[in-house]
């Protein structure tokens, strides 16, 4: 996966970043991280049965590919799902926030296999990664639609109405940091094998 290049930073900025990691219960860069619910991206294999039911009978069988690092895919699509984030920092004033523009990267593999990686967001106030609560309906709908398209099922183009709300906070989006967020970035058009 593509990561943004790191620039040389001042000692003050490095100290602030170190303090952010301490407050978020994360380790500074280069130190082993403990396993925890707060991470840069998530996969939801437990929702595979719901996705399989949503594509049936047009796609009679599908399988979930759990290796997010496997680049041997036939198709790739970047879109968004919805969800809620809860700030992990007990000292932070922000408790939670919602987003209708949470980046998801859907990859298609041979034999109707797929993976779906949903990217986390950071708290605007303290910059800690949030604990993510997925809107499962939006996930199932987006993944099922894409699988049907890749299987050659004739589909009406999906039309999603903008419901207003606050703008997407690109600077706090893990998908944008990895080049996987479509909001406001015309250079991210890697829709391979649509």
Report pLDDT digits (tens) over 74-104.
999 999 999 999 998 889 999 999 998 899 9
Of 84, 82, 181, residue with least CA distance to 132: 84
Q: Using one digit for the tens of pLDDT, what is the confidence trace for 23-74?
A: 555 544 433 333 345 789 999 999 999 999 999 999 999 999 999 888 899 9
Question: pTM value?
Answer: 0.74
Helix pair 48-55, 136-150: axis angle to 10 deg: 50
Q: Which one-letter DSSP state was computed for residue 112?
A: T
Least confident of 3-7, 37-41, 131-135, 182-186: 3-7
Average pLDDT, the chain: 77
Contact of 125 with 166, CB cutoff 8 Å: no
User: The tokens 């790191």 sit on which residue?
Assistant: 6
The neighbouring-strand residues paired with 10 are: none
Of 61 and 180, the structure prediction assigns the larger pLDDT to: 61
């Amino acid at each position: 996966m593509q990561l943004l290049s790191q620039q040389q930073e001042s000692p003050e900025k490095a100290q602030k970043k170190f303090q952010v990691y301490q407050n978020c219960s994360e380790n500074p860069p280069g130190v082993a991280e403990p396993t925890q619910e707060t991470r840069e991206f998530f996969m939801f294999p437990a929702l595979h049965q719901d996705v399989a039911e949503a594509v049936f009978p047009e796609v009679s069988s599908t399988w979930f590919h759990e290796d997010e690092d496997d680049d041997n895919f036939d198709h790739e699509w970047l879109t968004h799902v919805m969800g809620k984030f809860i700030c992990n920092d007990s000292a932070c004033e922000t408790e939670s926030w919602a987003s209708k523009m949470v980046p998801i990267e859907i990859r298609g593999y041979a034999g109707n296999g797929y993976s779906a990686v949903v990217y986390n967001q950071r708290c605007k106030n303290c910059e800690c990664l949030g604990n993510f609560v997925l809107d499962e309906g939006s996930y199932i709908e987006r993944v099922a639609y894409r699988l049907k398209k890749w299987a050659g099922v004739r589909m009406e183009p999906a039309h999603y109405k903008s419901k207003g709300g606050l703008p997407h906070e690109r600077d706090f989006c893990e998908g944008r940091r990895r080049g996987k967020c479509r909001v406001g970035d015309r250079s991210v058009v890697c829709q391979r094998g649509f």
